[in-house]
Chain A
Amino acid sequence: MSEKVLMKGNEAFAEAAIRGGCRFYFGYPITPQSEIPEYMSRELPKRGGTFLQAESELGAINAAYGAGAAGGNVFISSSSPGIALMQEGVSFLCSAEVPVVMLNVSRGGPGIGGIQPGQADYYQVTRGGGNGDYRVPVFAPSSIQEGVDLIYEAPVLADEWRNPIMLLADGMLGQMMEPVVLPEQRPFAESADIRAKKPWALKGYGDSDKNKAVVKSLRMQPDDLEAHVEKLFAKYREAEKALVRWESEGLEDADVVFVAFGTVARLTKEAIEILASQGVKAGLIRPISLWPFPYQAFDEISPKTKVVISTELSMGQMIEDVKVGVNGRYPVELIHRTGGIVPTSLEVAEKAREILAKI
């Protein structure tokens, strides 16, 4: 294990993608993730990879589609409006079952919004902005180290599930600095590896039709398309079981249970300490996978709990999944700020006390 270094989130995420074996990066600058394409433009060529600044996010996602279809391990990143532009491509990647690792360092919206941190892309990343029936596994780290570890794992998961894997890290995680331990370099896949491990990839199989590979999302026959979508959903049902991740604490005797992901989970943890000092027992469910959402975590909440509070940097998007998880057993409330404003832990603790007082 290498020694700890102090890195900015975006630098660490880019390095983790390279070390995870992502040999191809296509991107377009956008705050607050521009350090990633900058880092990749400097590092990838030195290390045998390919960096391409696309003419737009549309170009980037379609270059990713191409390189991924050829079996390459691809990493792309952007921030909220840029990820919005990529949604058509995500739908195509899912239909064609092309693995790509994507990172959204999210900011405030809607529209071009602002550059400060936001979580209002929850619907975008968990429901998808693209057309058709598809799903994308989404992981939301709460620290730079967790982001590094998830990004390092993501190319393996993407290949295993033949699907894009999305990471959602709000702008604070991209911009803040933290000590991290970087993983060892996983070797870049060579053509022979790809041919052996990805028989579906477009590797140039000569004139013979025997091993011909086709990567496509067009299926004009309804029964063919239905069968394809059913097959995708059989895969998603397996992914729901295999990829769901969360952490929880203090659920056994909590008066109030917070649900929070990303940096909000960190400040919520501090809010829980503040509440404890005031005699209020609070617990936390921290979804790490946003799809699949950890509904089962809510079964661990004590019957004595008075309220479940979704804490978000949006007008309340995850709260819909929280309500499904709670399933009518407890009142569900929202503590939120939006527009790029991050509440203080004191603010969260005070609002929680106000909510408790009314119950």
Chain B
Amino acid sequence: MERYIRPLDRRITVICGHYGSGKTELAVNLAMMLAGTDHGYERLAVVDLDIINPYFRSREQRKLLEDAGVGVYGSAYRGEITAELPALGADIRAPLEDADCRVLIDAGGNDSGAIVLNQFGKYFTPENTRMLAVVNANRPDTRDFAGAVEQIAAIEAVTGLKAEGIVNNTHLLRETDAATILKGHRLCEEICEKTGRVLWCDCYPEPVVRREELEGLPYRMPLKLYMRPTWLDVKI
């Protein structure tokens, strides 16, 4: 079977990146992709550490994920998806301590959002954790090599973790075309070559780009737009 993404070869995958790069959409998609498959562990959990963004958080998809058998951990106020209190539940430690649980961590944006990872730092050993940095070359702050690397370096500086993997998530929502993704691919390749990282996958929004259009890219990860109601893309 063709792989969508380079193997997630460690138990904990931390998804970090610039604010608005698409971390949450990737985390939810990865969880839905892995759910019900043999992903190497007995359990699967998404941990939402985004305490900056007031809207569009992965815990909003709690029902979708839980129905698929994915544990969802995040705010201390389970039902209160809209609470803006930066409070995280103590039960977040459960999946992190559970050696039989695969964990996908949706970190907050930028260094200021990723700093929340630090309180769980003891779980992030090199043996069991891999951090992936999501890059969208259409975001103004990460549109070129210098900007994208600056963001990654800032996240690494505050967390002490290295983003060994890069995820190209360059898109313009439903206006994305293959050229958009290829532009991002080139930027991510440059980042990988010059800073010693590995391109983990190239994402494409499934509703608007066809897989064949990205022939030649090694790992093509289709994304469903779980976080985006369709009416947000109604033309005005």
Q: Hey, which bits of chain A sit against chain B, CB under 8 A?
A: 4-8, 11, 31-32, 114-116, 142-143, 146, 171-172, 175-179, 263, 265-267, 269-270, 286, 340, 344-345
By the criterion CB–CB under 8 Å, are B229 and A344 in contact?
yes
Is B75 at the interface (CB under 8 A from chain A)?
A: no
From A7, A176, A177, name the one whose CB has the most chain B CB atoms within 10 angstroms: A177
Q: Contacts A115-B84, A177-B20; is A32 near B55 (CB within 8 Å)?
A: yes
- Chain A residues near B234 (CB, 8 Å)? 266-267, 269-270
Is B138 at the interface (CB under 8 A from chain A)?
A: yes
Total A-B pairs, Cβ < 8 A: 74
By the criterion CB–CB under 8 Å, are B54 and A32 in contact?
yes
Q: Contacts A4-B172, A31-B84, A115-B82; is A175 near B55 (CB within 8 Å)?
A: yes
- Chain A residues near B171 (CB, 8 Å)? 6
Chain B facing A: main interface SS: loop
Q: Which of A7, A171, A340 contacts B140 (CB 8 A)?
A: A7
6 A-B pairs in the complex with CB atoms less than 8 angstroms apart: A5-B140, A7-B139, A11-B140, A171-B54, A177-B20, A266-B236
Give A117 Cβ to nearest chain B Cβ, in Å: 8
Give A223 Cβ to nearest chain B Cβ, in Å: 48
- Chain A residues near B56 (CB, 8 Å)? 175-176
Q: Nearest 10 A-B pairs (CB), nearest first?
A: A267-B231, A175-B55, A179-B172, A270-B231, A6-B138, A142-B236, A143-B236, A266-B234, A269-B234, A31-B54
- Chain B residues near A270 (CB, 8 Å)? 230-231, 234
Q: Contacts A142-B236, A143-B236; is A171 near B55 (CB within 8 Å)?
A: yes
Report B167-217 residues with CB < 8 Å from chain A CB: 171-173, 175
By the criterion CB–CB under 8 Å, are B20 and A115 in contact?
no
Docked CA distance A143–B20 (Å) = 17
Q: Hey, which bits of chain B sit against chain A, CB under 8 A?
A: 19-20, 53-56, 82, 84, 136, 138-140, 143, 171-173, 175, 229-232, 234-236
Give A249 Cβ to nearest chain B Cβ, in Å: 11
- Chain A residues near B84 (CB, 8 Å)? 31, 115
Docked CA distance A31–B84 (Å) = 8
Give B177 Cβ to nearest chain A Cβ, in Å: 11
By the criterion CB–CB under 8 Å, are A116 and B236 in contact?
no
Docked CA distance A178–B228 (Å) = 11
Q: Contacts A115-B82, A340-B82; is A6 near B20 (CB within 8 Å)?
A: yes
Q: Which of A4, A176, A269, A286 contacts B138 (CB 8 A)?
A: A4
Docked CA distance A146–B235 (Å) = 11
- Chain B residues near A4 (CB, 8 Å)? 138, 172, 175
